[in-house]
Structure 1
Amino acid sequence: MDVTTARERLEDMLAELDRSIAVLQGDPVAVRERHAADAGSDLTDADRARAMLTVAATQRDAVVAALKRLEEGVYGRCVDCARPVPEGRLEARPEAARCVQCQGKRERRR
């Protein structure tokens, strides 16, 4: 993927993530009378929103890091082994920091 296309895709992703984060950080629960049974539902909704916010924030960090790699001229190189990240991987995940092999090693260590 060429640098211009990568930058455009990453900037679009960043804008979308910022919008999603803003929505998730808003107060989704209106003040109203509720039945006691609804309290459990509110907790579940809050937990779900927190989880989605965590995922969005992590994704945002990855996109910002990818934009930084673009600026530094190392975008498309694995941050662990410095080999090229396959073009197909960057097409699917423009924020990818690692080649498939290094990403697999990282995930197995978790």
Structure 2
Amino acid sequence: MDVATARMRLEIMLEELDRSIRVLKGDPVAVPERSAADAGSDLTDADRTQAMLDVASRQRKEVLEALSRIDGGVYGRCVDCRRPVPEGRLDARPEAARCVQCQSKRERRR
């Protein structure tokens, strides 16, 4: 993927993530009095919302790092081994920082 296309896709992703994060952090809406069962449901909803917020925030950070790699002229190179990241991987995940092999190693260590 050429750098201009990558930048455009990453900037679109960043806008969408920012919008999602704003929605997830939205002001609580006044709700009528609820039962104890509903309160338990609210906790589950709050946990789910927090999990989605965590994922969106992590992905936003990855997108910003990819844009930084573009600016630094190293986009498309693995941050670990410096070999090219496969074109198909960048097409699927333009924010990818590692080649498949290095990403697999990283995930196994976790």
TM-score by length of 2: 0.97
| Corresponding residue number in structure 1 for 2:49 | 49
Question: Are the structure 2 counterparts of residues 42 and 29 from structure 1 closer, same or farther at C-alpha, using a change threshold of 3 Å?
Answer: farther
Give the Cα–Cα distance (whole angstroms) in 2 for the partners of residues 43 and 27 of structure 1. 16
Aligned pairs (5 A) from 1:5-16: 5-16=5-16
| Corresponding residue number in structure 2 for 1:77 | 77
Aligned pairs (5 A) from 1:19-98: 19-98=19-98
Return 5+ residue gaps in structure 2 as ranges: none
Give the Cα–Cα distance (whole angstroms) in 2 for the partners of residues 26 and 5 of structure 1. 32
Deviates more, 1:33-42 or 1:87-96: 33-42
Cα displacement (A) at 1:27: 2.8
Return 5+ residue gaps in structure 1 as ranges: none
Give the Cα–Cα distance (whole angstroms) in 1 for the partners of residues 57 and 37 of structure 2. 31
Cα displacement (A) at 1:10: 0.1
Deviations 1:42-79 (A, max 9, x none): 00000000000000000000000000000000000000
